Structure 1
């Protein structure tokens, strides 16, 4: 078997009906009872790019452009090697357009930069796609609202002084899973961001447990051993699904470790 990413491995797994980690195992919490669903209808960017843009802008608000858009920067570097175009100068010119007020120029620029993410993760795509991106008013308002919802979630539910973003699992990879990175963790919880019209997916629940178990095998194992909560946050609903790590039985952990991750 060739090594793959965490998400690539999950696509290969046929789970039992209801999933290995069921929806009923999670506690469901609407972070604001008055929150309304932010619909995809009338958005002018594709859902995957909207999700990446929300993710990157959240990190931008927390840590600034160079850290938030580091993956896009690597993608642009890869493009420069293969085509002679784009690269670091393009990146620096783009991030000069960003500001923390999240105006329309900032959000469109973030979406443009996010479109280069693929040249890091997969190595292929249309490098000129960014020129055709259109940000209508609906999409602008939706992305801005979801960024603020995500920031509020992190403020409510995490220890921001110990918050780590975009981390890997060095020391925890195997011949089966050779790559994959997480969204957020602090010393008591691991959090995955899903910008989706779905409220739950068995792939999501398995993914965050795989991340947790890989963390326990990684160089950061001491931090993961302290974690009590695995959470999936969806800003379209302002919904947090939380799983107590004590619900993961030794038998389930062993099955995932051996049969899915490859320890």
Structure 2
């Protein structure tokens, strides 16, 4: 039978497939299809595995390349480009990392060897540099400390950690590197507080006291002082002048009453210096005249401006202030009147703006100025809205130590110290002999720097002995 287009040829007779033959052929086709699918799946898996292996090897090669570059750069940084030892290490790195079968595990030994060699070389260089710096600049440390170096060295505060800091501090001082100096002092203050407090930093007395920690109960306590009232309290609400300038203005108004006896240079000398520095010398001379000869309102206003100049001189920072308003003016006049009456009741002002002889000062304290002397008492004036604290009491004691230690005869009859606060309307006073002797001598040595054997310390001890026998 002829085959027509598109239709299968019909099988007749013996050409027809039996059912069993048909089933066998179908099974063979199915088996072949399954084998083909399995082979394709296997080839696909093999390709994926080769891809993963290739990607893993690429990652390893990249890691090896980065590590190799890092080690070679480190060798050059540590040993330099022409060092024989560095050449040997570079060859070892290239041999290990360029191997065809190199892995991160196989090069671990080489990496460890290079790191240890570089660390040892850096350590030896640092030790050699430290030794050379100590030889060249180590004597700057004793020069920085001056007479205090031996005391600090014997105390065990200087060791292998702190000596380099002190040497670098001395170099910063020598070369005028203020930024480096402040950074090193900050590190010493944070990590080596006792050593920081023993460094003579050429401070004012107020700055020195700010550097020293004074735990409660270890120095002076207000219970050692007798308290009494000197007038009505003055509130500080609604004043338009900051407290530090207000307090200085009150002092200057009272000092102004002593211009004829003490002289204007003694009373207004600091304000004059600051005014010249900030370009207000002409205004300052007008303020001086108003403080002495002006009306009450003019005196208060001039005292405020002079107080800003005084604060500028003491701190080294420029102080600006507006004119006092009516409330501030009234408060300043009231407090100055209370302070004046109180000092008159104590025998009058012997000295306003207490200055100390140059021989009183040390590398720890290079400048200080007390407030008032009456015939037997050294007074410090405060106008804060709180009672005196430990450092306030310690400040007035240190004034007495500076005066007596310098041998100034002005202090021969001064055997009391006190704090007066016209804002609170209170004053506190004590005899120096009632202050524990150990506290006085500790303040003389630890804060001011009068060590054992110092003639100034000897004067203080002799004075304490005489007062205890009186």
**TM-score bin (small chain):** 0.7 to 0.9
Which residue matches 2:246? 50
Give the superposition deviation at 1:225: 3.8
Task: Tell me, yes or no, if structure 1 residue 103 matches structure 2 residue 296.
Answer: yes
Give the superposition deviation at 1:18: 3.9
Which residue matches 1:155? 344
Q: What is the correspondence of 1:12-161 to structure 2 with a 5 Å cutoff?
A: 12-18=211-217, 20-31=219-230, 35-63=231-259, 66-67=264-265, 68-79=267-278, 85-87=279-281, 89-98=282-291, 100=293, 102-125=295-318, 129-130=320-321, 133-160=322-349
Q: Distance in 2 between matches of 1:244 and 1:94?
A: 38
Give the superposition deviation at 1:239: 1.0
Indicate conservation of the 8 Å contact 2:256/2:291, yes or no: no
- 5+ residue gaps, structure 2, are 1-198, 451-470
Q: Distance in 2 between matches of 1:94 and 1:188?
A: 32
Q: What is the correspondence of 1:176-195 to structure 2 with a 5 Å cutoff?
A: 176-195=364-383
Helix, strand or coil at the partner of 2:413: coil
Indicate conservation of the 8 Å contact 2:372/2:380, yes or no: yes
Task: Tell me, yes or no, if structure 1 residue 203 matches structure 2 residue 391.
Answer: yes
- 5+ residue gaps, structure 1, are 80-84
Moved more, 247-256 or 22-31: 247-256
Helix, strand or coil at the partner of 1:116: helix
Query: Which protein shows a greater Rg?
Result: 2
Task: Tell me, yes or no, if structure 1 residue 169 matches structure 2 residue 367.
Answer: no
Show CA shifts across 1:138-163 (max 9, x none). Answer: 11111111111011011001344xx0
Q: Distance in 2 between matches of 1:41 and 1:19?
A: 34
Moved more, 68-77 or 96-105: 96-105
Show CA shifts across 1:65-86 (max 9, x none). Answer: 935332211111223xxxxx32
TM-score by length of 1: 0.86
Indicate conservation of the 8 Å contact 1:69/1:114, yes or no: no
Which residue matches 1:82? none
Helix, strand or coil at the partner of 2:309: coil
Which structure exhibits the higher relative contact order, with contacts defined as CA atoms closer than 8 Å and separated by 6 or more residues?
A: 1
TM-score by length of 2: 0.50
Helix, strand or coil at the partner of 1:115: helix
Q: Distance in 2 between matches of 1:254 and 1:97?
A: 44
Helix, strand or coil at the partner of 1:21: coil
Moved more, 187-196 or 111-120: 111-120
More helix by share: 2
Change over 3 Å in CA distance of 1:158–1:13 after alignment to 2: farther
Indicate conservation of the 8 Å contact 1:4/1:177, yes or no: yes
Indicate conservation of the 8 Å contact 1:102/1:144, yes or no: no
Q: Distance in 1 between matches of 2:423 and 2:216?
A: 26
Q: Pairwise CA RMSD of aligned residues? A: 2.0
Give the superposition deviation at 1:237: 1.9
